[in-house]
């Protein structure tokens, strides 16, 4: 997963430091495939009303639209006056009911968390990898390298050959096997360090390298899997904290198999969780799956963020903008960059390109803090988030999920 900025996203949310205005569009207009010119002046602090229920775009970035009226089909949204009227949320409500059985309402973050807040605990020493396991380039280095020096393609996404695709399928199948094995061990009382041990030993038994281990982006990641619990958004480092009844945990697995990476993650419940956690997880899964369904040859990469933004807008959740999906294959992270909020990113999907779709959906605000370990991203308001990820292949006719 790419992090757009190494610093806390607090600064990104300040009005004068939001994304360029040309990258911000009304979610309703996006849904209707209408693009309107935005306010031609710089966004001013007085216009930032992200804590209010109206004038919301992308659940995080707010702005004044020159042609916006109160939406006739949803009081919480605004739309262009040129947009046709759509029957109120009928399609989305049917999708939602098929998942959780009820019509969605507007969610609010927990003021008093009903779950355990996670803080860093003791991290065990790095587990060794046998010498016969093929390693990715970054794992061979004894010092931290910038990711640009890890053998990534220059700018364009790589179009994989048939042989590459066969190898990618093998890597992704191995990653799925590892994740399923780890998921079987999830229960109250089990530490995330134990999950790391299971992931590590399963990788070794399959003859694959656990890609997160020693990945050199900021500092070498010390473990073989990312385990992000409750208020940890992503990149949680496994430690000796036991999982508790009511926790939710994202387990993010990537393996390096015969020269190729396969990457996926899912969010799981530990014991009995509250209804808000169940709904959050359902929305996160829907965001990933709906975004993948929109992928096909010739489609703009921006449709992924547009789709996720629409679902978040309808449900009252937010997609964390700073963490992105990425191209994957012979490299762990590379182009294309997959942004999980509405955007104007350039480029269209081509058959043979492989990338990840992995939105982080939060029940609170999208601001976060990177802890001193250089990796763990914790929600600034201590709210929970959920994430689901697949590696996908663009085919001649649509898209294939490689990590099923």
The residues spanned by each domain of the chain are 15-91, 137-401
List the CATH code of the domain at 137-401.
3.90.230.10
Q: Give me the pLDDT at residue 141, please.
A: 62
Angle at which helix 162-184 crosses helix 192-206, to 10 degrees, equals 140
> pLDDT at position 124, please?
97
Range 8-21 average pLDDT: 31
Cα–Cα distance between 258 and 133 in angstroms, integer? 9
* Beta pairing class for 61-62 and 56-57: antiparallel
358 is in an annotated binding site: yes
Taking the C-alpha atoms of residue 177 and residue 183, their distance in angstroms, rounded to an integer, is 10
Residues in the chain: 404
**Of 321, 402, 343, the residue nearest 2 (C-alpha):** 321
Between 1 and 195, the higher pLDDT residue? 195
Decide which of 255 and 72 is more confident: 255
Mean pLDDT of 35-57: 29
Q: What is the pLDDT of residue 329?
A: 96
Q: What is the pLDDT of residue 15?
A: 30
What Cα–Cα distance (Å) separates residue 47 from each residue in 21, 28, 42, 62, 311?
13, 19, 10, 8, 24
Are 391 and 264 spatial neighbours (Cβ–Cβ below 8 Å)?
yes
pLDDT at 272 over 60: yes
DSSP state of 191: B
**In the predicted model, what is the mean pLDDT of the chain?**
78
Q: Is the predicted pLDDT of residue 230 greater than 80, yes or no?
A: yes
Residue 152 scores a pLDDT above 60: no
Residue 263 assigned ligand-binding role? yes
What pLDDT does 155 receive? 75
Tens of pLDDT, residue by residue over 317-370, are: 999 999 999 999 999 999 999 999 999 988 999 999 999 999 999 999 999 999
- Binding residue per annotation — 333? yes
- What does the pLDDT read at residue 219? 63
pLDDT value at position 50? 29
d(CA 42, CA 234): 32
Contact 381, 364 (CB under 8 A): yes
What average pLDDT does the segment 178-206 reach?
98
Check residue 346 and give its pLDDT: 86
More confident residue, 228 or 100: 228
Give residue 215's pLDDT: 82
235 is in an annotated binding site: yes
Q: How far is CA 208 from the centre of its chain?
A: 24
Q: What is the distance between the alpha carbons of residues 231 and 29, in angstroms, rounded to a whole number?
A: 32
Is 33 annotated to bind a ligand? Reply is no
Has residue 139 got a pLDDT over 50?
yes
Q: Which 3 state secondary structure label does DSSP give 100?
A: helix
Known binding residue 245? Answer is: no
Separation of alpha carbons 363 and 297, rounded Å: 33
Residue 394: in which H helix or E strand, if any? strand 390-394
Residue 401 corresponds to which tokens in the numbers above?
């999920």
Decide if pLDDT at 284 tops 50. yes
Regarding predicted confidence, which is higher, 236 or 25? 236
Whether residue 39 is annotated as binding a ligand: the answer is: no
Q: What is d(CA 379, CA 243) in angstroms, rounded to the nearest whole number?
A: 19
């Amino acid at each position: 997963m790419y992090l757009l900025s190494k610093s806390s996203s607090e600064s990104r949310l300040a009005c004068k430091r939001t994304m360029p205005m040309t990258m911000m569009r009304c979610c309703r207009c996006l849904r209707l495939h209408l693009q309107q010119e935005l306010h031609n002046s710089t966004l001013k602090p007085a216009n930032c009303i992200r804590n209010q229920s109206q004038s919301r775009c992308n659940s995080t970035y707010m702005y004044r639209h020159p042609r916006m009226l109160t939406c006739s089909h949803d009081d919480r949204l605004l739309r262009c006056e040129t947009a046709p009227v759509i029957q109120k949320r009928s399609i989305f409500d049917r999708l939602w009911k098929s998942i959780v059985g009820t019509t969605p309402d507007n969610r609010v973050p927990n003021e008093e968390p009903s779950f355990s807040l996670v803080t860093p605990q003791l991290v065990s020493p790095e587990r060794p990898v046998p010498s016969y396991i093929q390693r990715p380039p970054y794992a061979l280095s004894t010092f931290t390298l910038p990711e640009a020096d890890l053998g990534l393609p220059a700018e364009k996404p790589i179009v994989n050959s048939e042989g590459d695709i066969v190898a990618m399928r093998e890597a992704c199948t191995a990653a799925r096997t590892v994740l399923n094995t780890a998921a079987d061990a999830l229960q109250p009382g089990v530490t995330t360090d134990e999950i790391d041990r299971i992931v590590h030993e399963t990788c070794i038994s399959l003859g694959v390298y656990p890609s997160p281990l020693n990945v050199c982006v900021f500092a070498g990641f010390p473990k073989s899997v990312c385990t992000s619990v409750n208020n940890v958004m992503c990149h949680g480092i496994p430690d000796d904290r036991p999982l508790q009844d009511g926790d939710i945990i994202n387990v993010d697995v990537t393996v390096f198999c015969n020269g190729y990476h396969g990457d996926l993650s899912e969010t799981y419940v530990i014991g009995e969780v509250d209804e808000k956690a169940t709904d959050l997880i359902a929305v996160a899964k829907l965001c990933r799956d709906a975004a993948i369904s929109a992928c096909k040859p010739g489609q703009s990469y921006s449709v992924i963020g547009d789709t996720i933004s629409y679902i978040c807008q309808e449900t009252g959740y937010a997609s964390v903008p700073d963490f992105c999906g990425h191209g994957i294959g012979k490299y762990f992270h590379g182009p294309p960059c997959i942004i999980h909020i509405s955007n104007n990113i350039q480029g269209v999907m081509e058959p043979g390109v492989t990338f990840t779709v992995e939105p982080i959906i939060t029940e609170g605000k999208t601001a976060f803090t990177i802890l001193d370990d250089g990796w763990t991203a914790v929600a600034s308001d201590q709210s929970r988030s959920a994430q689901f990820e697949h590696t996908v292949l663009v085919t001649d006719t649509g898209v294939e999920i490689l990590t099923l």
